[in-house]
Amino acid sequence: MAFDFDRPIDRQDSDSTKWRTYDADVLPLWTADMDFAVPPPVIEALHARVSHGVFGYCVHPAELRELIAERLGRLYGWRVRPDEVVLQTGVLKAFQLVASLVAGPADGVLVQPPVYPPILGAPHHNGSVHQEAPLLLRADGRYDIDFDAFEAAITPATRLFILCNPHNPVGRVFRRDELERLAAICLRHGVLICSDEIHCDLIYPGFVHLPIASLGPDVSARTVTLMAPSKTFNIPGLRCSFAIVQDPALRARVAGDHGGDFAEVNNLGLVAATAAYRDGQPWLDAVLAYLDGNRRFVADFVARELPGVSVAAPEATYLAWLDFRRTAIAGDPYGVLLERARVALSAGPSFGTGGDGFARLNFGCPRATLTEALTRIKHATETQG
């Protein structure tokens, strides 16, 4: 089946946060949704559900949990029972929930910046203590884990580590040996792991995603794994995600009634997720190939046309972490590019320690849009220089 990802879709007159936050002349390559139509089976399933005409309170479909469990076994060799899948409205709300369940005001929550801003802010959501072990930036622009710093950051008050893998914004897919060392440290200190793996399906050739909980029963008993079809199939607005919680006591707490802050998944989100996991693989294969082309296009353009700027091609996600620290706009690349290029990226400092001088670019868009944005950035950096 052929999919036309080069076809532009006008989102200016839709309800898009991405396209309605800035003026109409700004190209928005910031928030992480893609400018592509979703898989046709998802649209067909939504049409069928809407035509029914009644949208009352709903049960969570057994088929969706079964599809998820089968998928995890097929992709990762991870044995998950359908009843260990806890459906949620979103990964962001889910890690806030986990933090609220296990960490009080005097307890520590450990993160690895530069990292997705809501993860960075998760400790503050519950008044807990922010703890961090920054990733190490190598000379080639890639990032490693500083394991000595990671273990040193853990105190007797540390209750939770929020892992982001694949990592947003730096694009790393952590290897088995890295995950094993992280897990061993957390188990040694009695720290629960909450693993945000929302980008796990967006992996490029040569890299393999491994859920940290799949390392073994001792790790899975101390891990809440968060995944979703939202980034994978471009349906974040339908608010459907899930947690894998294999420890029964912990699962009961995560699945409990937590009031309005953690509302039930809506009908259409459940329909879309089921259709996506059941019938969306051909679309996913095609969009990954297109994104891989965009990924390489960004790296080549930056190397060729943007002196002083550098980027390491991400191993996963559709997000590129651009380093402007050796340019004239190092102090505020986000602000300068918004003003002079009329391109909106995500500001590096919002990702915490290590974000100064960086900006995150979303390349989940038609190649023509990406080309226009990068060309504008080139002209703006030349003018500023």
pLDDT at 258 over 80: no
Q: What is the DSSP letter of 313?
A: P
Tell me the two tokens of residue 51.
Answer: 């035509």
C-alpha closest to that of 160 among 110, 209, 196, 118: 110
Q: How much is the mean pLDDT over the chain?
A: 94
CA 127 to the chain's CA centroid: 24
Q: What percent of the chain shows pLDDT beyond 70?
A: 97
Average pLDDT over residues 272-292: 97
Q: Report the helix count and the strand count for the chain, using DSSP H and E.
A: 14, 14
pLDDT of 265 reads 85
pLDDT at 272 over 60: yes
Say if CB 275 and CB 248 are below 8 A apart.
no
Asked whether the beta carbons of 224 and 254 are under 8 A apart, the reply is yes
What pLDDT was estimated at residue 219? 98
Structural domain boundaries of the chain? 17-31+281-384, 44-279
Instruction: Classify domain 44-279 at the CATH topology level.
Output: Aspartate Aminotransferase; domain 2 (3.40.640)
282 token code pair = 């051909």
pLDDT of 150 reads 98
pLDDT tens-digit profile of 147-192?
999 999 999 999 999 999 999 999 999 999 999 999 999 999 999 9
- Pairing outcome for strands 108-111 and 158-164: parallel
Is residue 235 over pLDDT 70? yes
Task: Compute the distance between CA of residue 360 and CA of residue 346 in angstroms, rounded to an integer.
Answer: 5
- Distance CA(295)–CA(195), nearest Å, equals 25
How many Å apart are CA 195 and CA 246, to the nearest integer? 13
257: pLDDT strictly greater than 90: no
Which pairs count as long-range contacts for 300-305, CB under 8 Å and 24+ apart, including other chains? 301/371, 301/374, 302/374, 305/374, 305/378
Asked if pLDDT for residue 60 goes beyond 70, the answer is yes
CA distance 230 to 236: 4
Which residue shows structure tokens 């992480």? 32
Q: Quick check: 259 pLDDT over 60? A: no
Half-sphere exposure of residue 84: CA atoms within 13 angstroms, side-chain side: 20
229-265 as b/e, with b when 16 or more CB fall inside 10 Å? bbbbbbbbebbbbbbbbbbeebbeebeeeeeeebeeb
pLDDT number for residue 82:
96
pLDDT above 80 (res 1): no
pLDDT value for 90: 87
CA 284, 285, 287, 293: dihedral to nearest 10 degrees?
Answer: 150
| Rounded Cα–Cα distance for residues 2 and 5 (Å) | 9
Question: In this model, does residue 260 exceed pLDDT 60?
Answer: no
Is residue 75 predicted with pLDDT exceeding 80? yes
Band of residue 384 on the pLDDT scale cut at 50, 70, 90? low
| Average confidence (pLDDT) over 260-270 | 76
Report yes or no: 333 and 290 within 8 Å, Cβ to Cβ.
no
Q: Which fold has domain 17-31+281-384?
A: Aspartate Aminotransferase, domain 1 (3.90.1150)
For residue 184, the model assigns a pLDDT of: 98
Q: Could you report the per-residue pLDDT of 191-222, keeping only the tens digit for each?
A: 999 999 999 999 999 999 999 999 999 999 99
pLDDT at residue 124 is higher than 90 = no
Q: Where are the alpha helices (DSSP H) in 174-280?
A: 176-189, 217-220, 230-233, 248-254, 267-279
DSSP letters along 83-134, please? GGEEEES-HHHHHHHHHHHH--TTSEEEE-SS--HHHHHHHHHTT-EEEE-P
Q: Which residue is associated with the tokens 């969706």?
A: 64
Cβ neighbours, 10 Å, residue 308: 15
**The tokens of 375 are what?**
């060309």
Specify the pairing of strand 108-111 against strand 129-132.
parallel
374 neighbors 301 (Cβ within 8 angstroms): yes
Q: pLDDT for 331-373, tens place per residue?
A: 999 999 999 999 999 999 999 999 999 999 999 999 999 999 9
| Strand extents, DSSP E, the chain | 27-28, 85-88, 108-111, 129-132, 136-137, 143-144, 158-164, 192-196, 223-227, 241-245, 319-323, 343-344, 346-347, 358-362
Would you say residue 263 has pLDDT above 90? no
